[in-house]
Structure 1
Amino acid sequence: MSKRSAGKQARRDPSGINPRQACPCGSGKRYKACHGASGGAADVPVARPFDGLAGECELVALREFVPSATAPLPLAGPADRQVSLGTVLPMAAAAVVRNDGAALIGMQVQTRSSDVSRDVARAIRWALSAEPGQVLPIVDAAEDTDGARLQDLLAADGAIEPQLHPDFSWWMPPDTEPTGEVALSLERANGAILPTERIGPAAYWVNAGDKAHLRWVRPEPEERLLAALARLSARGELALGEGSRYAGSFRAHGLLVPVWDLDPESHAREWQEPVAALGARLADALSSLDSEPLTADERRARDGLLGRQITIR
């Protein structure tokens, strides 16, 4: 190896990123002046933190919009206590070990790193060794010792099965009355809940009062999913039936979440069959993309769908 080649190799960051190229975080700075700087930003943002997990779509829903739910975690190794995810915990804590020993991990919390998966893993490892009654207010990235992520802690095929609740009484052990700040936090949290039901895998009905919505976290790559939705739209098959319309979509943690407006007078259960039927139509449309490119009408429909997208994460 020549001295010049050795010098170039030495100047390259261990991450493999050229220090002179734009930083992947999107700051507009060169990598060497941003995440590649000594003592600079903590890490490069992870756009799809739950990628590879069987429960990726449910995790995104629990993180972003489901108000009150718990989900037991299928940990890969033995554990001395049951650990469950929770949407929101008392005082927005990152983790709590209840007095009965049950461990709860908060999903809708502030984080101090750019990888939600790693933050959740840190909270889980804290909860496995914490004493009953202890609270982890926030996960501190500086306390990370091995960089473990949620993917390292869960069983490879472990499904996430959320259980939705009408309130936050699950914060407390059975037959226990909340007091002090926990009682105040519980009262405020209960008052903010919108009626929500899970009507299919990662598909959630929510009643916002004047209208209801379906939010459906989808696992497909965005471009492919949009093409399939456009194919259904061009055929007039994108709605869920009378009293519904496709409203748009938002991006969250690397996945696309299509949204439909629904008749608020209809009960959530009335949308289960239409959602299942739409899922079948969508599966057929996705499959047809391999052999049938989009027509001119379908491309125009896709352009219209693109105009109704936002990004929240």
Structure 2
Amino acid sequence: MGKRSRTRSREQAADGEVGPRQPCPCGSGRRYKHCHGAPGGAAPVFVQRPLEGMPSECDLVALRELVPAATAPLPLTGEHADRSVQLCTLLPGAAPAMVRESGEVWLGLQVVHNFGDPSRDLAAVLLEALGQSEAGPVGLGSDPGEGPRLQDLVADEPLRITVHDGFDYWVADLPDSSELAAALEQANDQVDPTDRLTSVEAAYWTNVGSKEHLRWVMPEPEGQLLDALARLHEADRDRLVPDSRLVGMFRAHGLLAPVWDLPVGTGAEALEEPAERFAKDLAEALAEPADLTAEQRSARNGLANRQVTIR
């Protein structure tokens, strides 16, 4: 019995036109039918590493994805340089931004707008808040379209981050009330104890009750970082303290955040010297020009299989 021949129908485009299944000419990487050829126009273009170029990119990713309660003054440049802006992990009601009675603007990081570029969305919310004269929340109800990104508005200075035990900073400038106290207690119950290490950048210890972890957002390109971590893992040089273990990593906004399990009772202070030492070992591993050995490639595959993508 002969096999039935099969043909694949191909969508043909007229001369000078883009076929529905071809890459969109805008450079988004999407097929034309899912981008500028979609009903209603282009879909949002996803920016893989939206906070790249900011002085504290790794800390910003950590505050947006991993740290429950933290704040940092956000220095602006240009016409808004004299305005006081406070960057916050989370605001009451998960508001994107707030204008306080004092005129200070609070910008929330842990907000999802789904418009493709978090940096542009944060900038749009910030500009809206800076232009609002009355105290209250500020939102972003629709795609803001073309406009500045956060990198265009923020001064080239590292952030001065304060990690909090809870969300008491929400009400620090407000009169006490039983209603506020109840809401605050409920919010604080969701906060795991967290500290930022001082010996290295963007490394955060946390205690989740049954375990302690170190989550460390790193700036190196994913492929290079995986190679370096594999070299250290295969050589058993990735243990920060006895009985600690590199268990995997998060991927968020184009960066990797390796995660270590730690013995209960370790605490943040005990990690300062080991983290500093590991940073030096990692720098050496990153500079190693030789190809990975078979054992190192196996270690790399194991690490790559233990990644969880957050965004």
- Range class of TM-score, shorter chain: 0.7 to 0.9
1:97 to 91, 96, 99: 99
CA contact (8 A) 2:98 2:135 kept: yes
- Pair 1:77–1:178, CA change in 2 (3 A): farther
Counterpart residue number, 1:47: 48
Displacement, 1:52? Answer: 1.6
Distance (Å, rounded) in 2 between the aligned partners of 1:153 and 1:52: 12
Residue identity (%): 48
Counterpart residue number, 1:174: 173
Counterpart residue number, 2:3: none
2:193 to 195, 204, 219: 195
Distance (Å, rounded) in 1 between the aligned partners of 2:194 and 2:260: 14
CA contact (8 A) 1:90 1:185 kept: no
Displacement, 1:145? Answer: 5.8
Displacement, 1:131? Answer: 2.5
CA contact (8 A) 2:77 2:153 kept: yes
Distance (Å, rounded) in 1 between the aligned partners of 2:94 and 2:287: 42
Counterpart residue number, 2:154: 154
Counterpart residue number, 1:135: 137
Task: Give the 5 Å matches for 1:73-84.
Answer: 73-79=74-80, 80-84=82-86
SS, match of residue 78 in structure 2: coil
Distance (Å, rounded) in 1 between the aligned partners of 2:181 and 2:41: 40
Distance (Å, rounded) in 2 between the aligned partners of 1:122 and 1:40: 21
Displacement, 1:120? Answer: 0.6
CA contact (8 A) 1:35 1:43 kept: no
Distance (Å, rounded) in 2 between the aligned partners of 1:87 and 1:194: 14
Unpaired segments of 5 or more residues in structure 1?
Answer: 1-6, 13-17
Structure 1 residues 157-199: Cα deviation after superposition (integer angstroms, max 9, x where no partner): 321232111121211343532575x555423211111000001
Counterpart residue number, 1:255: 255
Instruction: Read off the aligned partner of 1:274 and give its amino acid letter.
Output: P
CA contact (8 A) 2:34 2:42 kept: no
What is the root-mean-square deviation in Å for CA atoms of aligned residues?
Answer: 2.3
TM-score (norm 2): 0.86
Structure 1 residues 239-270: Cα deviation after superposition (integer angstroms, max 9, x where no partner): 11203111101210111110000112122111
Instruction: Read off the aligned partner of 2:205 and give its amino acid letter.
Output: W
Counterpart residue number, 1:283: 283
SS, match of residue 251 in structure 2: strand
Counterpart residue number, 1:109: 111
Counterpart residue number, 1:88: 90
CA contact (8 A) 1:172 1:178 kept: no
Distance (Å, rounded) in 2 between the aligned partners of 1:190 and 1:209: 15
Counterpart residue number, 1:4: none
Structure 1 residue 243 and structure 2 residue 254: aligned?
A: no
Distance (Å, rounded) in 1 between the aligned partners of 2:136 and 2:36: 34
Structure 1 residues 241-300: Cα deviation after superposition (integer angstroms, max 9, x where no partner): 203111101210111110000112122111111111111100111011xx2221222112
CA contact (8 A) 1:119 1:141 kept: no
SS, match of residue 240 in structure 1: coil
Counterpart residue number, 2:63: 62
Counterpart residue number, 2:233: 233
Instruction: Read off the aligned partner of 2:309 and give its amino acid letter.
Output: T
CA contact (8 A) 1:112 1:140 kept: no
- Pair 1:188–1:236, CA change in 2 (3 A): same
Distance (Å, rounded) in 2 between the aligned partners of 1:36 and 1:105: 35
CA contact (8 A) 1:100 1:173 kept: no
Distance (Å, rounded) in 2 between the aligned partners of 1:35 and 1:69: 39
Instruction: Read off the aligned partner of 1:104 and give its amino acid letter.
Output: W
- Number of aligned residue pairs: give it: 293
CA contact (8 A) 2:48 2:253 kept: yes
Displacement, 1:51? Answer: 1.3
- Pair 1:102–1:21, CA change in 2 (3 A): same
CA contact (8 A) 2:98 2:106 kept: yes
TM-score (norm 1): 0.86
Instruction: Read off the aligned partner of 1:75 and give its amino acid letter.
Output: L
Instruction: Read off the aligned partner of 1:127 and give its amino acid letter.
Output: A
Instruction: Read off the aligned partner of 2:310 and give its amino acid letter.
Output: I
Task: Give the 5 Å matches for 1:21-32.
Answer: 21-22=22-23, 30-32=31-33
Instruction: Read off the aligned partner of 1:89 and give its amino acid letter.
Output: L
